[in-house]
Structure formats: C-alpha cells, structure tokens
Amino acid sequence: MKTLKIICPNGHLGFAPLREESFRIGVDAGPDYIAADSGSDDVGPVPLGSDTSTSPEGWQRHDLEQMLLASRKLGVPMIIGSAGDTGANSRVDLYVRIISELAKKHKLAKFRLGYFYSEVDKEFLRDKIRAGDPVLGLDGYAELTESELDATERVVAMAGVHPFVELLRQGADVIIGGRSSDAAVFAAPAVHHGFSDDYAYYLRKVLECASFCAEPYGGKETVMGEISHEDVKVTAMHPPQRCTVASVAGHAMYERSNPFEEFFAGGKLDMTNCRYEQFSERTTRITGSKFIPAERMRVKLEGSGKVGERFVGICGIRDPYTIANVDRVIEWARTQVRERFGDTGYELHYNVFGRDGVMGDLEPLRDQPGHELCIMVQGVAPNVEMAEELTMIGLRQMFYARLPDVKGTAGSVSFPLDEVLHASAAYRWTLNHTVAVDDGLELFPTHMIDIGV
Amino acid sequence: MTTQKLSELAKTIRSKNAGVNKITFDVIFRDRENYERVKRSGALTRESMARLYRIPAERISDFVEYDPGYAIKFTIYRLRPSGCAGDGDIFGAQQYAPLLDLEVAA
C-alpha cells in the first residue's frame, strides 16, 4: 500500500452533529477508512462519574448512522474511539447496540464488529500501589493514594493504537472503542498497514479535531488525511475551507501545553523538526515528524469521584449600591447557611456573572462590575434533602441581606425563578494519572461479533 | 510611541483546556512580521502574563514561542480541576478576553 486516506467528519462525535455536505464530499473522495473519536475530558467529571453521556443519543445515532452507511457502501472500515464521551463500558455497549440496530434497520449485509473496553478495576490499581509500582500524577496531581482511589467512582484507561490494531488484524469492519487517545483512532490504520510510526502519529494530529485544522474557522466539517511513506497531507473537504500552513501548524498546539511534543501510550511524537508546505490550494503537506518509543509503556488514567448531590439557584441584582456590596450580600447568605448546617460537610458556591463569574480569580476587571449582575448559587451536600435546603437558604437569604444604606428595603435581589433546581450530582476529577503496563493490550479486552444478515 | 492592541495584530486569540488541570492560551498571527513584532515588543512574556492575570509566575507551566505556527502560547494551572462545582468555565474557552486589549509597542 503506497498511500492511505482517512476521513474524519467530527472532532467529538455526538457533541454536535456532523455536517452532511462536506461528509458526502469526503466519502466521494474514496477514503480507505472513516474514523472519529467520540470522547473528551473537556466535558468535565460528571459523565464519567455518573456513567452517562453529555451528548444526546439522537446526535450520536445520527453520526454513527451516516458513518456506518458510508463505510458499508464503500466497503471500508469505520473506527470510533472513546464511545459516548467517556469511553466507559456502558457507553461501548450503547454504541454496539446502536450499530446493531442500524444494521437491522438498513438490512446491512453481514459484517464484523470489533469492540473493546477501557474501564480499569480499582483493585488492579490498589495492587499496583501496594506492590510499590506507583500510579503517577500528571499536571500537578500527586501520586495516587488508596484513599483517593476509594473516593473514585469509575476509572477509564486511555488506549493507544494496540487494541485497534489487534481488531483490524482480526478483520474488523467496524470498531467501537472504549476510552482512547484520539491519536489511536487515526494512527492505528496507518500502523496496521505498515506505515512508519513517525507519520502514523502525525496523521492523527491533523485529523483528531476534523475541520479545526482548516480555515476559515468552522467545526464539524470533514477533513481528509493521507499518509505515504514520505509525508502526511491534509485536505479540507468543505468547499469554503482550506488547510493552510498556518491553520495546520497552528492546530498542532491546540489543547496542548507544548506544541513540539505529545505523549501517547507507548511513546511520544516529536514535532520539533516538522516542515509544513502548501501542497495545493486546500492541501498542506507535513514532513519531519518523529515518533520516539517509550522505554516502559505507561497508560493514562481518568477517574471521577462523587462529591455530593447538587442544587442550583439563580438571582439578579440591579441596584448599584447592592452591586457594589455584593460580597456582603453573599456573606449574609453564607452566614445563614452556617447557622443551619455549620462550617463543614457541604459546599456552597456563588458565581457572580457580570463581575467575575466566568474567570473567577483570573479576572483582571473584578472591580468593574456591570450595571446588573446574575448570581448562580450552587449547593452540594451528601444527600438530596440537605442539598436542596442548603441551596434554598443560600439563594433566598440573598433577598433578605441587610445592607445599612439600601433604599430598596423590599428585597435585595430579583428572582427569575423562585425555586432551586435539582442539577446533576457534583463530581471531581480524582485521577489524572499514568500506570505502567507490560503490554498495550493489557487493560483493553477485545471482542468480536458478527452483525447483519 | 504608538501602540496597537494585540487583537489588531493577531489572527486568533483563544483559550482552552489542556487536560483537566490546565488552561492553554494561543495567540496566532497571520504572518511572520506581526509575530516577530509582538515577540520583540516584550508585551507578551511569562512575566507580563502573570501580571495581567494577577497570578504568581509559578502558575504558568509553559511559555512557548512557536515559530512554525507564528504563535505564542502559554499554559496556566487551574486552582481546582475543570468541572469542580463552582468552576465557571469547564472548557476553559473564555479565559482569553484580557489578552485582546494588551498594548503592543510598535
């Protein structure tokens, strides 16, 4: 095989639907694979902790249907990583079920569906800790302790290319992956067909977020990556978009703290000597990337732990005197909560939109609030009853705040809703770590079934 | 001395999560000229960003001048990981605004 072409229609399948026009153009261009990643830790710890998706099933089904029908029509494999936002086992099962239902609906001819799981048994990690093989923290996280592991609801490991390559080797026509590096989804076919790791891993770099590597800006449009033994090329499929040297080089640093290197299960991609050339109007050519294998394989882990049940309330302020004294209003409400529930055993948060609700401590203009404020109150507590009462006190007592010189004595805040709303439970990222493994397949059991008639 | 705002010189100014505990900021220029000008000006450095966001310099984990992309990028640690209750920006996507009006000397 001299070259391999992969199209990617969506940088995060399910989060918003793919755009059908550029996907069709991409399919007509005759790709060898159709692939997309469906997950991200950007969505916060709630979906992983509560074992849900943040994406609506209708949108997931829409994109899976488009991709499956194109894949079966062209007779080329379809690869999905990080099923259902988190890549948890229940999400893999969900996508496998959707694929089976779609196959039935469209009476598709028999094909092989491979899938693998990514959830990690907490006892496996406990054994590692006890055996003195530390589970190391990333980005400021301390080494994993047993107590932090106990506070964790669910852990997924991020697969490298290994389970995908294994399933391709077994002849899978469709692959549904548990949590995966988006690298793996696109690099695996290239590795499977014998292209060098140097370019296989770069190929995914340009494909991982679909049209985010093209300009003008516009998400959810299809792009096509082509790997050869000498280079990688990337082309925008959406007619108004182009992949330029600037847009492709610029994308290399997206969501990464260091644009020159990136780590995967099994090694790192060194982009220090990458060269970018405008190959044709809508295509950029990349050479010079280098894959450096790791001495011992470490796999990234994501874990989420429950903090408590959560309610949310909203109020507004328009009186300039009250706006100038909003911290005193909040302190009054906090004091009432403390009188009822004490100092600890719950969380109470106030986001003051119009002042620093978006940026918090990073806001330089904190002392220049707008002419009206919106305040979101969040209460988190061990059970639903307490969370509701806590949030209700924290919200309603804003109305009764006692400011000495206020003219409006009939209420300090406005209520768009005179109620508190039951929100998703609060979770936090407990694991952002790596664990050593002997084999890239160790944490990712693979399965193969026949689908269709 | 004439100055210009960074938003007049850069093509893209953005912020986004880099993992769950960091936010990364990208300032991307259309051409080498503006990129080099901002680099030379000293307006966009690790120290000036610590001042702008009023954080200790240690909270900036990386500061990189990225020649192939005509881009300057830096990354800061969050105080708490993304999506903790009280986080106003789970994706980290709206933290770049103070950069828009950054004054750059000619």
The domains found in chain B, sorted by start residue, are 3-94 (3.30.70)
- Whether the CB of A258 is below 8 Å from some CB of chain B: the reply is yes
Model-wide pTM > 0.80? yes
CA-to-CA distance for A245 and A239, rounded, in angstroms?
A: 18
Mean pLDDT over residues B54-63, rounded? 95
Phi, psi of A165 (to 5 degrees): -65, -40
- Please say whether the beta carbons of A318 and A386 come within 8 A: no
Burial state string for B62-77 with b = 16 or more CB within 10 A and e = fewer than 16: bbbbbebbbbbbbbbb
Chunked mean pLDDT (size 10), chain A, 453 residues: 92 90 94 94 94 96 97 97 97 98 97 98 97 95 98 97 97 98 91 94 80 82 92 92 86 83 87 90 92 92 98 98 97 98 98 98 96 98 98 97 90 95 97 95 97 89
- Whether the CB of A261 is below 8 Å from some CB of chain B: the reply is no
| Candidates B55, B66, B102, partner chain A, best to mutate (most A CBs within 10 A) | B66
- Please say whether the beta carbons of A286 and A231 come within 8 A: yes
| Tokens 């609506």, residue located | A56
Q: What is the pLDDT of residue A93?
A: 98
Q: Are residues A429 and B82, on separate chains, in Cβ contact within 8 Å?
A: yes
| A 123-142 near B (Cβ less than 8 A) | 138-141
Q: Which of A249, A274, A358 sits opposite B89 (nearest CB)?
A: A358
Q: Are residues A359 and B89, on separate chains, in Cβ contact within 8 Å?
A: yes
Q: Which of A46, A276, A432 sits opposite B21 (nearest CB)?
A: A432
CA neighbours within 13 Å on the CB side: how many for A374? 10
Query: What's the pLDDT tens digit per position in B76-93?
Result: 999 999 999 999 999 999
Q: Which of A253, A351, A360 sits opposite B26 (nearest CB)?
A: A253
Asked if residue A134 has a cis previous peptide bond (ω within 30° of 0), the answer is no
Q: What is the 3-state secondary structure (H, E, C) of A9-40?
A: CCCCECCECCCHHHHHHHHHCCCCEEEEEEEC
- Whether the CB of A310 is below 8 Å from some CB of chain B: the reply is yes
The encoded tokens of residue A78 equal 């379809």
Question: Taking CA atoms, what residue in A is nearest to B74?
Answer: A257
Q: Are residues B83 and A428, on separate chains, in Cβ contact within 8 Å?
A: yes
- Whether the CB of A364 is below 8 Å from some CB of chain B: the reply is yes
CA-to-CA distance for A4 and A96, rounded, in angstroms?
A: 26
Strand, coil or helix: A358: coil
Question: Taking CA atoms, what residue in B is nearest to A275?
Answer: B68
CB pairs < 8 Å spanning A and B:
143
Q: What is the pLDDT of residue A250?
A: 80
Q: Which of A45, A252, A276 sits opposite B83 (nearest CB)?
A: A45
Residue B106 confidence class, pLDDT cut points 50, 70, 90: confident
The encoded tokens of residue B50 equal 């610590």
Q: Which of A310, A349, A432 sits opposite B20 (nearest CB)?
A: A432
Q: Are residues A252 and B69, on separate chains, in Cβ contact within 8 Å?
A: yes
CA-to-CA distance for A48 and A85, rounded, in angstroms?
A: 8
* Distance of residue A257 Cα from the nearest chain B Cα, in angstroms: 6
Query: What's the pLDDT tens digit per position in B38-52?
Result: 999 999 999 999 999
Q: What is the pLDDT of residue A246?
A: 80
Q: What is the pLDDT of residue A343?
A: 97
- Whether the CB of A214 is below 8 Å from some CB of chain B: the reply is no
CA neighbours within 13 Å on the CB side: how many for A382? 3
Q: What is the pLDDT of residue B1?
A: 62
CA-to-CA distance for B45 and A313, rounded, in angstroms?
A: 40
Compute the CA torsion angle A84, A85, A90, A93 (nearest 10 deg): 30
- Whether the CB of A389 is below 8 Å from some CB of chain B: the reply is no
* Distance of residue A388 Cα from the nearest chain B Cα, in angstroms: 15
Which amino acid is it at A94?
Answer: L
* Distance of residue A375 Cα from the nearest chain B Cα, in angstroms: 11
The encoded tokens of residue A335 equal 């004091």
Q: What is the pLDDT of residue A453?
A: 84
CA-to-CA distance for A211 and A195, rounded, in angstroms?
A: 24
Compute the CA torsion angle B87, B88, B92, B98 (nearest 10 deg): -130
CA angle A241, A245, A249 (to 5 degrees): 105
List % helix, strand, coil for chain B (3-state, nearest 5). Answer: 30, 30, 40
Q: Which of B18, B86, B98 sits opposite A256 (nearest CB)?
A: B18
